[in-house]
Amino acid sequence: MKLSLVIMVFVNYGGGKYWFFKHESWNGLTVADLVFPWFVFIMGTSIALSLSSMLRWGSSKWKVLRKILWRSFLLILLGIIVVNPNYCLGPLSWDNLRIPGVLQRLGLTYLVVAALELLFTRAESGTWEATYPALQDILPYWPQWIFILMLEVVWLCLTFLLPVPDCPRGYLGPGGIGDFGNYPNCTGGAAGYIDRLLLGEKHIYQHPSSSVIYQTTMPYDPEGILGTINSIVMAFLGLQAGKITLFYKDQHKQIMIRFVIWSIVMGIISAILTKCSKEEGFIPINKNLWSISYVTTTGCFAFILLLLIYYLVDVKKFWSGAPFFYPVEDARQPIPRRASDSKPHCDNSLGHNIIFTLQEEDILEDLIEAVKV
């Protein structure tokens, strides 16, 4: 998580003007596109660790659920009010209020995955573990897997079967002058259509990254409703990583083998979905859409990175994690903000505001402490 935060702040402050620290306009993947899903992934990992810790120390499930609901509400509320780019256009009002956003998506994702884990977490082992010890981190939680698979089926059906006016069914393109200008008002296909239909054009992001190259005129929100389904899937993959570290605690070889297996599985799925190409696959890698191939690809990289860090830090103890833990070593230490800023959330970067908002309710601290458990 600390690495994700460091890269996020660096990217939002210009990324040194390197091209790979800029988001792709549509299909494809850069370093900048790894930050958000990695943060979501490690948030899922921290959910497994923190819930296990709280229940082990005697907290009731109802108490934990209230905490989950309260924090989710705060993230969504603060995302709408504090980190809202439309506020920079003038006084914030319902007429131009952007409803989706990064914190809103984090809040919804956290709510679903944490509630799902809380519902099915168990204090004692059962027959599954005794019968299939190699799958003790998966089989006891089969209802969770069914729920996640059903969510993904919903995403696939809406993305490829929902009729969108004046657009081909299953369209995944940027609109504008993309696809030879045949579908100028189809930016994002079903994902964009659902947001415009349910939220209204004025309540979503007005300047998507596709507007520069593809000259799109339709508003499109990369943190929209449909993409939230796949961010839940991404957090669930992180949750699985957390379960692996819990079930095989101090069994370094078992943990690393499972990280390798998961990275291979995710990589194979990505290769099939994308046909190992940027544009020609069944489902291209696309951050704006949060396509399932984007989730499996970044999930593959997340498991590989987690494997490397685990090996260097926990197994061999070659590395302490420095210098990445210094920027967020103490989550209670406030990030300095200029007193002269009348609209600090406009003048400062998005990454700056996300960290500040997480600090406000000690959410960042809890995430960091959960990883230490």
Place of tokens 């799902």: 116
What token pair was written down for 162?
């929902």
Which sequence positions are flagged as catalytic?
A: 23
Residue with tokens 């008002």: 185
Tell me the C-alpha to C-alpha distance, in Å, between residue 249 and each of 89, 271, 356: 50, 32, 33
CA distance 244 to 256: 9
CB neighbour class for 91 (10 Å; exposed up to 12, middle 13-18, buried from 19): exposed
Q: For residue 175, how far is the Cα from the chain centroid? A: 25
Q: How far is CA 259 from CA 236, 293, 311, 312, in A?
A: 14, 19, 11, 14
Q: DSSP string of 127-138?
A: HHHHH-GGGTTT
Could you tell me if 119 and 146 are in contact, meaning their C-beta atoms sit under 8 angstroms apart? no
CA 266 to chain centre: 16
The two structure tokens encoding residue 113: 């995955």
Residue 16 phi/psi, 5-degree rounding, is 65, 15
- Which 8-state DSSP code applies to residue 194? H
Tell me how far apart the alpha carbons of residues 73 and 71 are, in angstroms, rounded to a whole number: 5
User: How many CB atoms neighbour CB 126 within 10 A?
Assistant: 11
Judge contact between 56 and 66, C-beta under 8 A: no
Neighbours of 171 (CB within 10 A): 22
Give residue 340's identity as a one-letter amino acid code.
S
